[in-house]
Structure 1
Amino acid sequence: MTRPDPSPSPAEQLVGLLDLEQIDLNIFRGRSPLESLQRVFGGQVAGQALVAAGRTTDGQRPVHSLHSYFLRPGVPGVPIVYQVERVRDGRSFTTRRVVAVQRGKAIFNLTASFHQPEPGFEHQVPMPEVPDPETLPKLPDEIRAHLGEFPESLERMERRMAFDIRYVERLRWDTGELRDVEPRSGVWMRAIGSLGDDPLVHTCALTYASDMTLLDAVRMPIEPLWGPRGFDMASLDHAMWFHRPFRADEWFLYQQESPIATGARGLARGQIFNSEGQLIVSVMQEGLFRKLDG
């Protein structure tokens, strides 16, 4: 008789990662998994900080924007403390400021604004025409097919990856294929498993996901996305605007482009659409790209 697998699904692991421990009125503590990465994943810190901010509101106003800076690299395996400042509770808007602290030093700060929905006029850009996600290969399968033996590091990535990621255009695997490649990228994504029904969890899960592939657009013309890297890459800041309700465990299209890269910094912007073509989130981020020696 085969026993059921007791290990949590990737989506359950993500929900657990976003479930902060409240240790005082405005102070929360988040787990930081012990991994082989040099630094804590930025999307994790941003998602946890937004959870902390949301936990200090009445829950009736969804977040409509966040602006954040990555100040220091986080250390994997060391808990992160989130200190929330209740900046404003107005009639329509709520503002929170969060500082993430690890080993006594600030590693990240975030300002989030929450807005009571109001009626108004509407317009939006159209969603690009791209292949249906179900017709595209899963990212681990695509990597495995091109690289042959799956590297151990990617095996670990596959086990913990909370999102199904599918690139809408074929990936380039050799620098010789990069001629005339434009600095843009698109992926379909959705959480692997249910995230429950708390809107804040879905917002914070998508915040986590928004940092996974955005800087791909900067790298597209200079090196293959998978394989040895020629640059040390780090997120510097991150801003998001949430336009409509959504579920992060349903397919969404993340269109990304880079308008400029200069001075060892690359700027990327993203638009996230649901499967019905509605623009649900806009994203901006700048990344640091330092050429590795050798």
Structure 2
Amino acid sequence: MGSALDGLLDLLDLERIERDIFRGHSRVSVVPRVFGGQVAAQALVAAGRTVPADRTAHSLHAYFLRPGDPGAPIVYTVDRIRDGRSFTTRRVVAVQHGQPVFHLSASFQTAEEGLTHQTGMPPAPDPESLPTAAELLPSYAGAFTGPEVLERLLRSREAVDLRYVTDPPYGRVGTAREPRSQVWFRTRGTLADDPLLHLCLVTYVSDMTLLDSVLLAHGRGGWTVGDVVGASLDHAMWFHRPFRADEWLLYDQESPSSAAGRGLGQGRIWTRDGHLAVSVIQEGVIRVPRD
């Protein structure tokens, strides 16, 4: 297992301070604030550690309240909202410097059989046929504000093998395209069989590229190249079927709307053999800087 993945796993292994209080730390991010996928994944870890082992998360709903300070620890307090016969509900508040920065509600369910159907998986090339992020992104270096930004972007993703099916938004800045994007991803190493760990790692990755589709519709490169100011506002996920984060997953993403300084992204995450594993919706602030 690579050292980058070890570091990410350490990041998700929260320190337990009290029965329902946990503490976490942060890692490098592209922008000078805590990466939203990190705080969401850590909050899900905190919630999951207060739930019986036979119950798996099936949904989460979260709000990003304030920018997180990457230089300070984050304290996660879990409220045990409900423990039913089949479902368990938890609420988590993340606090820094005495103020809430993030709020998450998550629901867990015992294993159950039921009616089953799904829509069809979209076509995509095999992930092995695509360049890695480390191979692809330096070719766009001229679009970045500087080599240090490119370095932070690559470092922030080095624990995950993420491969673009379509050009990233900063690939052709100024050219509006269909607001749709696809990436394949998996962790760079084999993980333990803990289902909560796989859910949390996919939660972490789900925030990396979802709002790219908003930017594509307007030919914008995003906060990476400085032509928009953006931040996640809220994030929701539904976990439909079992999956492994260390096996290839296709993240198919699109943006149905942007207006009033906000953009909406929605995505579906598929296993390589065609099972719909996760649905994701996120809204974010998307503002054009004034001269």
Report the TM range for the smaller structure's normalisation. over 0.9
- Aligned positions of 1:83-102 closer than 5 A: 83-102=77-96
Q: Kindly indicate whether the alpha-carbon contact (under 8 Å) linking 1:32 and 1:77 is maintained by their aligned counterparts in 2.
A: yes
1:215 aligns to 2:211 (yes or no)? yes
8 Å contact from structure 2 (residues 160, 185) kept in 1: yes
Please tell me the residue identity of whatever aligns with 1:205.
L
Task: State how far apart, in whole Å, the 2-side matches of 1:191 and 1:8 are.
Answer: 10
The residue type equivalent to 1:52 in the other structure is A
| Partner residue, 1:175 | 173
Following superposition of structure 1 onto structure 2, how do residues 1-294 of structure 1 map, counting pairs within 5 Å? 9-33=3-27, 37-147=31-141, 151-161=147-157, 162-171=159-168, 173-176=171-174, 178-179=175-176, 181-225=177-221, 228-294=225-291
Runs of 4+ in 1 over 4 A off after TM superposition: none
> How many corresponding residue pairs?
286
Contact 1:191/1:249 (8 A) holds in 2? yes
Distance 1:103 1:34 in 2: 20
Equivalent pair of 1:261/1:267 in contact (CA under 8 Å): yes
TM-score (normalizing by structure 1):
0.92
Structure 1 gaps of 5+ residues are 1-6
2:282 and 2:268 map into 1 onto residues whose CA distance is 12
Q: Could you tell me how far 1:196 is from its partner in structure 2?
A: 1.9
The DSSP-based 3-state class of the residue aligned with 1:127 is coil
Distance 1:271 1:290, change over 3 A: same
Any idea what SS the aligned residue of 2:55 has? coil
In the aligned structure 2, how far is the partner of 1:258 from the partner of 1:174?
Answer: 18
TM-score (norm 2): 0.93
* Structure 2: unaligned runs, 5 residues or longer: none
| Percent of residue pairs bearing the same amino acid type | 55
SS of corresponding position for 2:281: strand
1:18-68 Cα offsets, whole Å, 9 max, x none, are 000000011000012366732100000000000000000111100000001
User: Contact 2:22/2:46 (CA < 8 Å) preserved in 1?
Assistant: yes
Q: Report the Cα offset of residue 9 of structure 1.
A: 1.9
